[in-house]
Structure 1
Amino acid sequence: MSYQIYSHTLPSATPGTQRIIKAHHFGTAGARPKIYLHAGLHADEWPGFLVLNALIKKLKVAEEAGLIDGEVIVVPVANPIGLGQNFHGYIPGRFAFSDGGGNFNRNWPQLGAKVERAVGEQVSGDVDANLTLVRQAIRQELATLPELTELQGLRKTLLALSMDADEVLDLHCSGEACMHAYVAQEFEEYFKPLLGLLGAEVALSELETGAHSFDETNVAVWRHLKSHYAHLMPWGCRSMTVELRGENDISNELAEQDAQALFDYFIYRGVINGEAPDIDDSGVTYYPLDAMDLVKAPVAGIACFHKCLGESVEAGEVIGEVVDLMADDVENSSYPLVARASGVFFARFQRRLVVCGESIAKIAGREHLAFREIGHLFED
């Protein structure tokens, strides 16, 4: 199959409106390995748009040269619903305004129990046969998902494109941040080469966050089945969320750099035929997600940070301050931002006017923090 672009129309929310999702397909449908990527599920996070634009150019050249041995699906704009939230030039894009609202990257449909019931006693000692069996059951369960609303249609479309992939990469970014990623504990070693190519030195390791995010959902079926069938059930999908630095870290140079890293990784995985890249992943460090400190604003006001992104910090160290603009005593109007974990200061708010209680900075630590509850590790 040559390079193809497919347009998927979402259900119309109101008369006269229509949104589409475009998927760029490379290689032969059904070929392995298959990798799926998208950007902008949080529609206010834009670096991935330009990265995937640059990657598509590289994949087109590889396709024309007959170098794609597997299959690659790229969705450069994953959330046209969120991009439609344009208020006087500001696009919030993180939360749905309809279907009960909520974070676009939370509470995706969980199919594990349904797939288990479907495959039942058909699971055998043939691991490859089990892989085919489960993927067929996933497709059947996906077909039954409702698609009456735009949001339902978006979720069903993206899952239908991704859930039979060997790897799923969900591209996001933070307000201001170093390159980092969220990786399931089971895949730490597997994805370390990609993190090395991307130049990420911080990766947050998780088991189950409780968020039911997009990347977790693609893995959840296999995790559920492996808990029942152990070695008889392979990892039919591995996924990761990549945080492409900060919101304003957008340039042709960075996009080219990141796209080349992804392209080299495809060669490394055998999706593209080419000379294997040299990979140095010695700088990649995994930190438990339940050891990540979310530094909260003690008052409303203006945040000023004293530490730079990527710097090491110690528990009890002051990394910045919030100035209370309403304080009567302006000489004593600054409140310290105190680290509760020893580790790396890797992300912070881009906005400097903060609300009391907001999480405005992240520190990757190594030791479990008592106030971090397993199963509820993400804030919306």
Structure 2
Amino acid sequence: MSYQIYSHVLPSATPGTQRILKAHHFGEAGARPKVYFQAGLHADEWPGFLVLNTLLRKLKKADDAGLIQGEIVIVPVANPIGLAQNFHGYIPGRFAFSDGGGNFNRNWPQLGAKVEKRIKGDVTGDIERNIDLVRQAIHEELCLLPETTELQGMKKTLLALSMDADEVIDLHCSGEACMHAYVAQEFEEHFKPLLALLGAKVALSELETGAASFDETNVSVWRDLKAHYAHLIPWGSRSLTVELRGENDISNAFAEHDAQALFDYLVLREVITGKAPVIDGSEVEYYPLDAMDLVKAPCAGIVCYHKAIGEAVEAGEVIGEVVNLMDDDVETSSYPLIARTNGVFFARVQRRLVVCGESIAKIAGKEHLAFREIGKLFED
């Protein structure tokens, strides 16, 4: 199959409106390995748009040269609903305005129990047959998902495009941050080459976050089945979330670097024919997600940081301050932001006016923090 573009029409939310998801397909349908990319599920996170646009240009050349051996699916704009939430030039695209609201990357349909019920009694010692069995069961369950609302239709479409992929790469970004990623513990070694190519030095290692995010949903079926069938059900999908630095880290230079890294990774995984890149993963460091300190604003006001993104910090160190604009005594109106772990200061919110109690900075540490609860590791 040559390069093709498919437009998936979402249910109309209001009279006279309609949105689409556009999926770019390379390679023969059903070829392996299959890799799926998407960007902008949080519709206010835009670096991935330009990265995937640049990657598409590279893939078109590879396709013309007959170099694509596997299958590649790219959805460069994964959330047209969120992008339409334009409020006087500001796009609050992290949360849905309709369909009950909520974070666009939370509470995706979990299919593990239903798939297990479908395949029970049919699993054999033939591992490849078992993978096909699971993928067929996933497909059947996806067909049964509701698509009455626009958001339901969007989620169903994205899962239908991604859940049979060998690898799922979901591109996001933070407010201000260095390149980093969220990776399931089981896939740390598998994705280390990708992180090395991207230049990420920080990766958060997770197991059960409790978020039911898009990338977790793609692997949760396989994780659930492995608990029942162990080696008889191998990993049929591996996924991760890549955070492409900060919201404003958008340029042709960044896009070229990141797209080339993704292209080289496809060569490494033999999706594209070519000379495999040399990988040096020595600078990629994994940090447990339950050891990540979420630094909270002690009061409302203006935040000023004393530490730069990427700097090492120590527990007890002051990384910044929040100036309370309503204090009577301006001489004592600054309140410190104190690190609660040794680690790397890798992300913070972009705006400088903060709300009392909100998480405004992240520090990747190595030691479990008592206030970080397994299964509830993400805040909205």
TM-score, normalised to structure 2, is: 1.00
Structure-1 residue corresponding to 2:109:
109
Superposition deviation, residue 97 in structure 1:
1.2
Q: How far apart in 2 are the matches of 1:341 and 1:160?
A: 41
- How far apart, in 2, do the equivalents of 1:187 and 1:225 lie? 16
For the pair 1:219 / 2:215, whether they are aligned, the reply is no
**C-alpha displacement at 1:48, in angstroms?**
0.1
- 1:170 and 1:277 map into 2 onto residues whose CA distance is 22
- Taking the aligned partners of 2:309 and 2:366, their CA distance within structure 1 comes to 17
**Which ranges of structure 1 fall in alignment gaps of 5 or more residues?**
none
Q: Which runs of 4+ in 1 moved over 4 A?
A: none
**CA–CA separation in structure 2 for the residues paired with 1:184 and 1:103:** 20
Equivalent residue, structure 2, for 1:137: 137
- Give the drift of 1:278: 1.1
Deviation at 1:252, TM superposition (A): 0.3
Cα distance in 2, alignment partners of residues 2 and 208 from structure 1: 39
Query: 1:341, 1:181 → 2: CA distance?
Result: 20
User: How far apart are residue 214 of structure 1 and its match?
Assistant: 0.1
Q: CA deviation at 1:279?
A: 1.1
Once the 2 structures are TM-superposed, how far is the Cα of residue 100 of structure 1 from its aligned partner?
1.0
> Could you list the per-position Cα deviations for residues 282-318 of structure 1 after superposition, in whole angstroms to 9, with x for gaps in the alignment?
1000000000000000000000000011100000000
Give the aligned partner of residue 9 of structure 1: 9
The 5 A counterparts of 1:293-312 are: 293-312=293-312
- The one-character-per-residue Cα deviations of 1:57-90 (angstroms, maximum 9, x if unpaired) are 0000000000000000000000000000001100
| 2:194 corresponding residue in structure 1 | 194
Equivalent position of 1:203 in the other structure: 203
Q: How far did residue 99 of structure 1 move?
A: 1.4
Alignment of 1:121-200 (within 5 A): 121-200=121-200
Which residues of 2 match residues 43-54 of structure 1 at below 5 A?
A: 43-54=43-54
Shift of 1:141: 0.3
Report the 3-state secondary structure (helix = DSSP H, G, I; strand = E; otherwise coil) of the residue aligned with 2:209: coil
The yes-or-no answer on 1:83 pairing with 2:100 is no
| Structure 1 counterpart of 2:276 | 276
The alpha-carbon deviation at position 367 of structure 1 amounts to: 0.2
> Partner letter of residue 228 of structure 1?
H
Letter in 2 for 1:62: A
Q: Distance in 1 between matches of 2:47 and 2:280?
A: 24
Q: CA deviation at 1:8?
A: 0.2
Secondary structure in structure 2 of the residue aligned to 1:121? coil
CA deviations over 1:176-228 (Å, ceiling 9, x no partner) = 00000000000000000000000000000000100000000000000000000
Equivalent residue letter for 1:126: D
> 2 CA distance for matches of 1:335 and 1:135?
53
Shift of 1:244: 0.1
- The equivalences for 1:46-65 within 5 A come to 46-65=46-65
**Letter in structure 1 aligned against 2:98:** S
TM-score relative to the length of structure 1: 1.00
1:143-180 deviations in Å (ceiling 9; x for gaps): 00000000000000000000000000000000000000
Q: For residue 178 of structure 2, what is the amino acid of its counterpart?
A: C
Aligned to 1:243: 243
The corresponding residue for 1:314 is 314
Q: 1:287 maps to what in 2?
A: 287
1:323 aligns with 2:323: yes
Which residue in 1 is equivalent to 2:355? Answer: 355
- 1:41 and 2:36 equivalent? no
CA RMSD of aligned residues (A): 0.3
Q: How many residues align?
A: 380
Amino acid at match of 1:378: F
Amino acid at match of 1:163: M
Letter in 2 for 1:272: I
CA–CA distance in 2 between the matches of 1:61 and 1:30?
21
Aligned-pair identity (%): 80
Task: Tell me, in whole angstroms, the C-alpha distance in 1 between the residues paired with 2:198 and 2:208.
Answer: 24
2:222 paired with 1:233: no
Q: Which runs of 5+ in 2 are unaligned?
A: none
Q: Distance in 1 between matches of 2:13 and 2:341?
A: 45
Q: Deviations over 1:80-134 (max 9, x none)?
A: 0000000110000010111111000000000000000000100011110000000
Q: Amino acid of the residue matched to residue 9 of structure 1?
A: V
